[in-house]
Amino acid sequence: MSLSERGAAADDVLTALADLRAGDLPTHGGRTWAYVYDSGLAGLDELAHRAAQAVTGLNGLDPTVFPSLLAMENEVVGAAAALLGGGPDTVGTVTSGGTESILLAVKAARDGAGVERPQLVAPVTAHAAFAKAAEYFQVELVPVDVDPVTFRPDPAAVAAAVTDRTVLVVASAPSYAHGVIDPVAEIAAVAAERNVRCHVDACIGGWMLPFWRRLGVEVPDFDFRVPGVTSVSVDLHKYAYAPKGTSVLLHRDAALRRSQFFAFADWPGYSMINATMQSTKSAAPLAAAWAVLRHLGEEGYLGLAERTLDATRALISGVSAVEGLRVLGPPQASLVAFGAAPDGPDLFVLADELTVRGWYVQPQFALGELPANLHLTVTAASAPRIEPFLADLRASVAAARAHGAVSVDPGIVEYLRSLDPSTLTSEEFAGLLAVGGLAPGEGAFTLPTRMAEINALLAAAPPRLRERLLVEFFGLLYVP
C-alpha cells in the first residue's frame, strides 16, 4: 500500500478505523480474560483520553522545557513509592511498560555492578521480559526451577545459583503465569547476603496487593518493606487502569538508579541524557496515568480492588467445582490459571469452545513438569461476568469432552523433533503451516477460530523450535 494521492476526509478515515476495529477482541465488558484491564467505571477512559490529548504535542525527551511532565512524573512515582513501602530516599522513573521497567532494572544492575560476564538469577516463572533483558544486554540468564505444585522456587536453590558474577536476583509478586508470590523475603535475604541487587517484579500485582491487604487479605511483604529489595516494578497500564504505555520502575535510592540513565556528550548534537530507553517520547501515557491516579485516589482503587477480589474468589470456587478442571497455585492475586485433571478435557479444545461462546482465555503451554493451563486475568469489570462465564465454562467442558482431545500425529511429532531451529527453512515452515491447517494465502492473514490443532502442534515443538516458529509466523504477518 502507498499513500493515497489526495488523502481522505477525516470522517472517512475514522470510519475506516472503526471498520478495522470490528475484528478486534472487546477491550471492555469482561469477556476478554487477558491483555486488557477494564475498570468498568463510566468516564474513566474519557478522562484519560482528554489528559492524553492535552499533551500530545509535547516531547518527554526534555523535562526542563516541559516542566509539566516532570511534575506529573514525580507525582506518579511518589504515589507508587508510597503504595509499595518506599521511604524518603525511594526514587523512580515512569517507563512505557513492564518490559521497559524490567529492561532498565537489568541494565542498571549490570552497569552498577560492572562485573565481567554478568549473570541474572531468576525463577523459571519470572516474566519473559527478564530473558529479553538478558538477551538484549548480554547478561547470562540463570534459571531456577520451581516446585511443580506451588510454582515457587526454593530459596536455597536461588542461593545456590548466585555466583560472584550475579548482578541481579529476581522475585515475582506475583508471577504472571500462575499468580503466586515468590518467597520474596528469603530471596531478598539471599541477595543481600551476597551484596547483590534484588528486583521484585510487581508489574501485575503491585497496584492490587496493597489494596487487598487493606481489605483483610493475608499478603506477605513483597516490596520495599522487605530488606534487601533494591528495585520494584509496577505497571500502571494494568491494575492502575491507565491506558497502555505506563509502568513505574522504583529504586530504593538514587545511587541505585544512576546506572539506569544514559548520557552522551561525544557527538556534535545536543548533549543527550535519557532516563529510559526511548529518547523522544510521547507524554500522552504519562498524562493519562497521572489523571487516572488523581481521579481515583485511594478510595477509588480500594473499591476496584474489592470488586476484583470478590470476582476472583467466585471464579476460583466456580472453576474448582467443575469436574475435570483444577485451579493451579492456588492463586494469591487476581490471576487464575487452571489445568486439566488426568481425565479432564483437552484444554486447547476447551479454549476454542469458550471462544465460540464469546470468551477469550489465554492458553499457556507446559514447561518441563509445569502443566499446560488456561490463564484468566480478573479485573473489576469481570465481577458481573463470573456467573455467565462459569455457565459457559461448564457447557464448554462438556463440548470439549464430546469433541475429544486433539492429538498430533506421532510422525509429525518425530518430524518436529528432527527440525533444527537454527536452520529452519521457509519450506519446512510452510510445510508445518499446512499441517496446522494454515496455508498462507493472499491478503490479510486471519487466524481460524479453532486454534486447538495449531496449539497442539506448538505444544509438541520443543521451546527453541517454538520460538523459531513464532518468529517465522511474525515474519509472515508483518508484510506490507
Ligand X SMILES: *Cc1c(COP(=O)(O)O)cnc(C)c1O
- Does 170 bind ligand X (CB under 6 A)? Our answer is no
Minimum Å gap between C-beta 383 and ligand X is 21
Minimum Å gap between C-beta 172 and ligand X is 6
Rounded distance between C-alpha atoms, residue 466 and residue 136, angstroms = 20
How many other CB atoms sit within 10 Å of the CB of residue 472? 18
- Does 99 bind ligand X (CB under 6 A)? Our answer is yes
Residues in contact with ligand X, shown as a per-residue x/- string from 174 to 193 under the rule CB under 6 A: --x-----------------
Of 205 and 339, which has the nearer Cβ to ligand X?
205
Of 97 and 112, which has the nearer Cβ to ligand X?
97
- Does 58 bind ligand X (CB under 6 A)? Our answer is no
- Identified binder of ligand X from the candidate list 110, 127, 251, 252, rule CB under 6 A: 127
- Does 104 bind ligand X (CB under 6 A)? Our answer is no
Indicate if the alpha-carbon torsion angle 243, 249, 250, 253 is positive or negative: negative
Question: Could you write out the DSSP letters of every residue in 254-265?
Answer: HHHHGGG-EEE-
Contact 433, 472 (CB under 8 A): no
Minimum Å gap between C-beta 371 and ligand X is 19
Minimum Å gap between C-beta 251 and ligand X is 17
- Identified binder of ligand X from the candidate list 63, 85, 97, 436, rule CB under 6 A: 97
Of 92 and 97, which has the nearer Cβ to ligand X?
97
Residues in contact with ligand X, shown as a per-residue x/- string from 348 to 367 under the rule CB under 6 A: --------------------
The helices-and-strands tally (H runs, E runs) of the chain is 16, 13
C-alpha cell at 112: 552498577
Minimum Å gap between C-beta 309 and ligand X is 18
Minimum Å gap between C-beta 134 and ligand X is 14
Rounded distance between C-alpha atoms, residue 151 and residue 461, angstroms = 23
Q: How many residues bind ligand X (CB under 6 A)?
A: 13
Q: What is the DSSP letter of 11?
A: H
CA distance to 139, 145, 173, per residue, from 142 (Å): 9, 10, 19
Contacts of 252 (CB under 8 A, 6+ apart): 86, 87, 89, 90, 224, 229, 230, 231
Contact 32, 384 (CB under 8 A): no
Minimum Å gap between C-beta 60 and ligand X is 17
Minimum Å gap between C-beta 220 and ligand X is 16
Question: Among 26-34, 200-208, 283-291, 315-323, which window interacts with ligand X (CB under 6 A)?
Answer: 200-208
- Does 107 bind ligand X (CB under 6 A)? Our answer is no
Question: Could you write out the DSSP letters of every residue in 84-112?
Answer: TT--TT-EEEEESSHHHHHHHHHHHHHHH
Minimum Å gap between C-beta 16 and ligand X is 28
Residues in contact with ligand X, shown as a per-residue x/- string from 243 to 282 under the rule CB under 6 A: ----x-----------------------------------
- Identified binder of ligand X from the candidate list 134, 168, 187, 203, rule CB under 6 A: 203
Rounded distance between C-alpha atoms, residue 398 and residue 407, angstroms = 18
C-alpha cell at 377: 486475568
Contact 392, 357 (CB under 8 A): yes
Minimum Å gap between C-beta 123 and ligand X is 12
Of 170 and 287, which has the nearer Cβ to ligand X?
170
Strand pairing of 91-95 and 247-251? antiparallel
The number of residues in the chain equals: 480
Position with the least CB separation from ligand X = 98
- Does 98 bind ligand X (CB under 6 A)? Our answer is yes
CA distance to 133, 372, 409, 424, 469, per residue, from 418 (Å): 30, 23, 14, 11, 14
- Identified binder of ligand X from the candidate list 94, 106, 167, 204, rule CB under 6 A: 204
Minimum Å gap between C-beta 142 and ligand X is 18
Of 98 and 363, which has the nearer Cβ to ligand X?
98
Residues in contact with ligand X, shown as a per-residue x/- string from 419 to 458 under the rule CB under 6 A: ----------------------------------------
Q: Which long-range contacts (CB under 8 A, 24 or more apart) does 443-447 make?
A: 445/476, 445/477, 446/23
Indicate if the alpha-carbon torsion angle 299, 302, 307, 310 is positive or negative: negative
- Does 201 bind ligand X (CB under 6 A)? Our answer is yes
C-alpha cell at 212: 487487598
Residues found near ligand X in the complex (CB under 6 A): 97-99, 102, 127, 129, 172, 176, 201, 203-204, 235, 247
